[in-house]
Amino acid sequence: MEPNSWARCSICGKTIHYDQIYYACSVSGCNRKSAPHRFCSVDCWDAHVADRNHRNAECVEEQAPAR
Ligand SMILES: [Zn+2]
Ligand SMILES: [Zn+2]
């Protein structure tokens, strides 16, 4: 892990840094605290939605915590 990394994209594994905008899935099952899905880009969220066959899912813009 890079020193400044906060999490990893659930799709491509790219690092999500502290204080960075990331994307979450609005489907409640995807936001369990134990294993939340987080995405580095809308494209990765799109891939997740296609993978899970979600209906009516929304992309939620979030900000990683500051260090
Ligand atoms: Zn990604
Ligand atoms: Zn989802």
Q: Which of 64, 61, 67 is nearest to 41 (CA)?
A: 61
Dist. CA 33 → ligand 2 center (Å): 14
Rounded CA separation 30/42 (Å): 15
CA of 17 to the centre of ligand 1 (A): 12
In angstroms, what is the span from residue 32 Cα to ligand 2's centroid?
11
pLDDT single digits (tens) 5-56: 999 999 999 999 999 999 999 999 998 888 899 999 999 999 999 999 999 9
Q: Looking at residue 16, what is its pLDDT?
A: 97
CA distance 18 to 58: 23
The pTM assigned to this predicted structure is 0.90
Q: What is the model's pLDDT at position 33? A: 85
Rounded to the nearest angstrom, the distance between the alpha carbon of 10 and the centre of ligand 1 is: 7
Q: Which ligand does the CA of 8 lie closest to?
A: 1
